[in-house]
Amino acid sequence: MSAAEGPLVVGVDSSTQSTKALVVDVATGAVVASGQAPHTVTSGAGRESDPEEWYTALTSALAQCGDAARRASAVSVGGQQHGLVTLDAQGRPVRPALLWNDVRSAPQARRLVDELGGAKVWADRFGSVPGASFTVSKWAWLAEHEPEAVRATAAVRLPHDYLTGRLTGAGTTDRGDASGTGWWASATEAYDEDILGRVGLDPALLPSVVAPGEVAGTVRDAADGLPFSKGTLVAAGTGDNAAAALGLGLLPGTPVLSLGTSGTVYAVSRRRPADASGTVAGFADARGDWLPLACTLNCTLAVDRIAALLGLDREAVETGGTATILPYLDGERTPDLPHASGLLTGLRHDTTGGQLLQAAYDGAVHALLGALDRVLDDEADRSAPLLLIGGGARGTAWQETVRRLSGRAVQVPEARELVALGAAAQAAGLLTGEDPGAVARRWETARGPVLDAVERDEATLERLSGVLAGAAPLLERP
């Protein structure tokens, strides 16, 4: 904790499992206070969470920041993407939010792709081909399975929109988070009335899209568990990946690999993406550029689960062996196998537990690296180090697996809470007039050690690709 030298701002990261808040000095980027509180996610047929818990976690995290939060001049919220929040006429949740990793809407996603004329039509108009994670698919599922909830809905929000609305009392979002809904068209940068009509969603229920650099509103009430003074500036906020890109001060072409509950690879681009294969989501960023991104559902959580099943520490990997694991424990988004389960093959008498654990790491990283070439465009420097971020980035086994399977140097930023830092940079930009990315670069958030490249493990990559190709028909079975 450092003494404050300038105005203070608050950056919030409301993720799948918890909400974190950082109080940051605008002048230096020093984190002067922080807090974190968990929330609950169901683990039954789907993945759901009560939005009220997010707000309770936010107030708890801010309370842990003490007087520093009370002195903040601006606040911004970064939040998990895609989640469907339905509110009644009083602004209360109609039902728990359907989260990004709830795959029940896979049939609705495939039907929507077909009804609009196929994947290329979707990619050209929206920048992305919707899967089960997209909000439009979740709304279609809700309309089909819970029509009474749809009838009770007076407002539709994303997770970061919900928290921003609790701060300001207004219904707003930003282009970065809106681009992951499936009803905001990247070609026009506006809500698409055609698709809204097809899924029966009144555009009046949606939030207004705040432009980059604009103020979303001000804190409406100093009570209600908030430490902020009434009138504190509230930035537009954004989705978690766009916030992390801000937090890194990311310039076009620099590749990022994020190791969290989900795994992601992305890079800022000046060109609007349109990948008809559906591998790359053509998201907007929070600044005015684009954020082509590929995401897997199974990353650190899946590997940790396999370590627990084996009774091993997560770092207890061993090289060698012929075992191959596709750790698709929650279905998978990349490749598009929403009904898949994990697959283990290649066992021998001499296979060790450590080799099985390494195989789980390999399977998780393989899926991400397979999408990286599609994410990077002609602007990208393919010899530049991969920026490795997220909860797994400091794990030696994760670092070495990424180096071995990518053949690239890896840089691990010292800054830890990049989503919250990106939100803080966005809030700081309201006060200074700077581009939030420039704020983060001034704060040197991407600074960190570089691990040299090693020879790429072609044999393991070929084995994984062969197993995936051969097992695809089995994996696709519900």
Burial 354-393 (b: 16+ CB within 10 A, else e): bbbbbbbbbbbbbbbbbbbebbbbeebeeeebbbbbbbbb
Residues 6 or more apart whose CB falls under 8 angstroms from that of 194 comprise 116
In the annotation, is 202 catalytic?
no
Contact (CB, 8 A) for 26 and 9:
yes
- Point out the catalytic residue in the list 13, 102, 240, 457: 240
* Beta-bridge partners for 446: none
Query: Side-chain half-sphere of 345: how many Cα atoms within 13 Å?
Result: 11
Contact (CB, 8 A) for 440 and 413:
no
Query: Which residue type, as a one-letter code, is found at position 383?
Result: S
For Cα atoms 195, 235, 262, give the angle at the middle one, nearest 5 degrees.
60
Contact (CB, 8 A) for 399 and 393:
yes
Contact (CB, 8 A) for 98 and 85:
no
Beta strands in 142-191, from DSSP E residues, in sequence order? 155-157, 172-174, 184-185, 190-191
Active-site residues, by number, are 240
